[in-house]
Amino acid sequence: MDNTRELETKPMGSLLWQYALPTVASQVVTSIYNIVDRIFLGNTPDDGKMLLAALTITFPIMNIIHAFGALVGAGSGARMSIVLGRKDVRWAEKILGNSMLLTFFFGFLFVTGGYLWTHPIVQLFAEGASQQVLDAACEYMYIVLPGMFLLTLTLNLVGLIRSSGYPMKSMWIMIGGAGLNILLDFIFIRELGWGMKGAAWATTISMAVSSAVAIAHFLLPNSFIRFKRHAWAPKLYIFRNILAIGISPFSMNVAAFAVVAVLNRQLIHYGGDDAMTVYGAANSYMGLIFMVLLGLCQAMQPIAGYNYGARRNDRLREVYLLTMKVCVAIGILASASVLLFPRAIIGCFNSEPEILAMGAPAIRYLLIFCPLIAFTVTNSQLFQSIDQPWIAIVTSLSRQVIFLIPLSLILPGLCYEAIGDGVTGVWQACAICDVLGATLSAVLLLTHRQVFRMDYIPPERKPRKELGPSKEEED
């Protein structure tokens, strides 16, 4: 059944809400996979602070795995929206099959590499941490690696389910997996006392169930886009188009990998295990807010991509402006929450006095400019939707790589010399880069404002064969 026609006919407010509810829910429950682990582990009697620090050390490794998932998932979802806007179902089926091939290829690489080099990689990102923390981080990684591959597979398929007109189904797949993860966390960590091992098994099992349900959708006879034999034939032009768009979120996740690695080393150097615990707690809340923003922007993506492909530039502009208003409003609320209730937020993850004292100013620095983060994220997603991957890359990387890494290397040393507190310099670097990144994003948006004009015609990105995939060989 074709559910995509409403993307160019339904009133924009109700259409965005229809897509936003499941995508925001999907993103929030994705973050719950890690947040629930942190809450259960951080509140474990006696070992809570150590376990939360160990889980924080795994953030860079998780980011690089998520990067490969975003490389395929975001690229295939955006391309499917565009080709469905051109009413090309056969091409969309090929995108589905080829995205699966890419997911399996990258999954094999990072799972194999993870098992071969887990210990030296963990040591690389946690130099100076206690041996107990390092051992707990390695124990987690050995178990969770297959679950991370299943997570990338699920995120790819859920995005394609949403892009092919089933936003509610994509939401329930993610909510079901998160609910199972919470239940298993309670059983494995709280009741059985498995610690890090319990958190890892809970994540792996829940993602196995979610990925099986997502695969089943494309096997059902009433699904609009299904697995077809012709779709599994590798096509270089499809690989190229998927990766060209997916390179932006991939770069953003790789940048997050590099940023977290640098921040971890700086925090351990200037603040030890306590600073890592604070960062794990503050980053959990910040990640939840970011997932809400990303969910809204991903709700915009199939609507914007479809109407961009259908040359309905009026609706493209309408959905962009509406999404921007909502995201900035959420950013304002997030900033207000950390200004008013910083200790209560940190206390959800660990309530020890020294963690609360260090965490309150940290979370304020990290989210004080959240409206500007919302502005940058929305623009980056717009550039992906209108087939401008390289501009999306620059927008994504500006905040993290161009600004944050240099500042996080310079400011902590200056603050330590000035006030004897290098950790504060790390938090200040995060705040400054939010302002600089938003400024660059605004400049790039102005240079591409022509896409909102009614007479703008998007360029074709068909395969080199002159008639495109729908005219290729039949099954």
pLDDT tens digits, residue range 12-45? 888 888 878 777 776 676 666 667 777 787 777 7
Contact by Cβ (8 Å): 392, 458: no
pTM across the whole model: 0.66
The answer to whether 39 touches 122, Cβ cutoff 8 Å, is no
Rounded distance, CA 295 to CA 25, Å? 7
Half-sphere exposure (Cβ direction) of 91: Cα atoms closer than 13 Å: 26
DSSP 83-97: HHHTT-HHHHHHHHH
What is the Cβ-side half-sphere exposure of residue 119, based on CA atoms within 13 angstroms?
3
Q: Which of 294, 297, 275, 296 is nearest to 286 (CA)?
A: 294
pLDDT in tens, 111-164: 888 788 878 878 776 666 778 888 888 888 888 888 888 888 888 888 888 878
CA 191 – CA 140 distance, rounded (Å): 18
- Residue position matching structure tokens 């196995």: 208
By the 8 A CB rule, do 173 and 214 touch? yes
Q: 3-class DSSP state for residue 32? A: helix
Range with lowest mean pLDDT among 126-135, 185-194, 402-411: 126-135
Provide the pLDDT for residue 112.
85
Q: State the burial class of residue 32 (Cβ atoms within 10 Å of its Cβ: 0-12, 13-18, 19+).
A: buried
**Contact 347/39 with Cβ under 8 angstroms?**
no
How many CA within 13 A on the CB side of residue 200?
A: 20
Distances (CA, A) of 153 to 6, 69, 148, 157, 436: 27, 7, 9, 6, 34
Give me the chain's average pLDDT, please.
82
Please choose, from the candidates 398, 400, 407, the residue with its C-alpha nearest in 3D space to the C-alpha of residue 426.
Answer: 407
pLDDT digits (tens, 9 = 90+) for 243-271: 887 776 777 777 777 787 788 888 888 88
User: How far is CA 390 from each of CA 120, 248, 251, 252, 383, rounded to the nearest angstrom?
Assistant: 33, 7, 10, 12, 8
- Indicate the length of the chain as a whole number: 475
- The tokens describing 292, both together, are 């809400």
